[in-house]
Structure 1
Amino acid sequence: MNRDIRVCFIGDSFVQGVGDPEYRGWVGRVLQATRGTVTAFNLGIRRNTSADVLRRCWQEVGPRTLPDADNRLVISFGSNDTITEDDRTRVDPARSLENLAALLDESEHRAVAALVVGPPPVIDAGEGHLRRTLRLADEMGALCRARRVPFIATTQALADDPGWTGEALAGDGAHPGRAGYQRLADLVLAGPWHEWIGQPDR
């Protein structure tokens, strides 16, 4: 009998897959490459910060879990946290980490296995944003390692990827198209995804 694996993906517009002409984003591509049956829910919302995700997470994730299912949560945010508005970041880095810690604490309390995908770069936001996002991603990774939660870094690899950067600059400056989202999906699939989801990679 197959396990009832239910996976919620929660985060921002990169989770939602904004900009992908195929409407799959990285989430859809990862799921297509995952063997076995997975019931998935995409809960990405454009412009969401870590504070927004924390505020709505369990109201949306809770109804999508079942007591006898293998419930899982993929968390991805941070790119909007490090955007500056009125000369300050939308979310202070320390608060971003507190928000992530709160999500992981509640995941553990609810016996929902968590995996964190690091924040992608926003190409037209400049070098300052990239530095802030890299720093936050490093700190998110350290927090996850301390809690033995899988973390997949994406920021630098995508900033260096011509498919991601070219498509983002040709579009709205932030979101890529099919090649960029495929690259992000490849990073997830090359990480601990298959081991975490408990399915063979081939």
Structure 2
Amino acid sequence: MQRQSEDLRICFIGDSFVAGVGDETALGWTGRLLARSAQAGRPATGYNLGIRRNTSTDIRARLRDEIERRRPADTELRLVFSFGVNDATATDDGRRVPAATSRENLTDCLDAAAGAPVLFVGPPPVHDEEHNSRILLLNNDFRDICDARGCTFVDVFTTLEKHDVWRRQVRDGDGAHPRSEGYTALFELVAPAWDGWLRR
């Protein structure tokens, strides 16, 4: 069992969905998770390391430095990853990141965690069916890798693809990001796994 320190630090590492782009409350799903923990008596220092348009390749390139800067002695560090939508974006010659490279990148990210507990939140759907078909395949690949490595994986794609509020807000926005109600829906999907993960 992971030792639970009073000085808990959690890095949220990923893309624009981690950054909470589109949420007029500026909380996103990550801010809501941190608030939930604080209200439950387990406050944490949260680092939102979401960068717009980042792919798994971008995240892999910066991950080790991001972790080391936030891993002082005598603290408990945990990592939340979420990426994949940008990997699956179509380009003139295929996609931004080939699926095999995305899988390799995730594997390397898990290696870089160096024993820190990892929670992976799968990529959410967007307002583009062809893009969603690629996201779903990547979501399934990422789930298999996380399962094999003993990491907690949360599939948000399957529910959000059929979620009226998520679909409407993404459609009425920029085609990818919801507003606060959509991020609340995403948060509610992640919260049960988050609670269990923090108890491990």
User: In which range does the TM-score fall when normalised by the shorter chain?
Assistant: over 0.9
Aligned residues: 194
Secondary structure, counterpart of 2:69 in structure 1: helix
CA distance in 1, matches of 2:112, 2:26: 31
- Paired AA for residue 116 in structure 1: F
Q: 1:18 is matched with which residue?
A: 21
Shift of 1:198: 2.1
Secondary structure, counterpart of 2:100 in structure 1: helix
- CA RMSD in angstroms comes to 1.4
Check if 1:180 corresponds to 2:176: no
For normalisation by structure 2, the TM-score amounts to 0.93
> How has the CA–CA distance of structure 1 residues 73 and 2 changed in structure 2, closer, same or farther, with 3 Å as cutoff?
closer
Shift of 1:155: 1.1
* Identity score, percent: 43
CA distance in 1, matches of 2:89, 2:5: 43
CA distance in 2, matches of 1:80, 1:164: 18
Which structure 1 residue ranges, 4+ long, deviate > 4 Å from structure 2? none
Counterpart among 108, 112, 118 of residue 116 in structure 2: 112
Q: 1:197 is matched with which residue?
A: 198
Check if 1:29 corresponds to 2:32: yes
For normalisation by structure 1, the TM-score amounts to 0.92
CA distance in 1, matches of 2:156, 2:196: 18
Q: 1:8 is matched with which residue?
A: 11
Q: 1:52 is matched with which residue?
A: 58
Q: 2:105 is matched with which residue?
A: 99
Note the residue ranges of structure 1 that are not aligned, 5 or more in a row: none
Q: What per-residue deviation string (whole Å, max 9, x for no partner) do you get for residues 47-74 of structure 1?
A: 0000000111121221111221111110
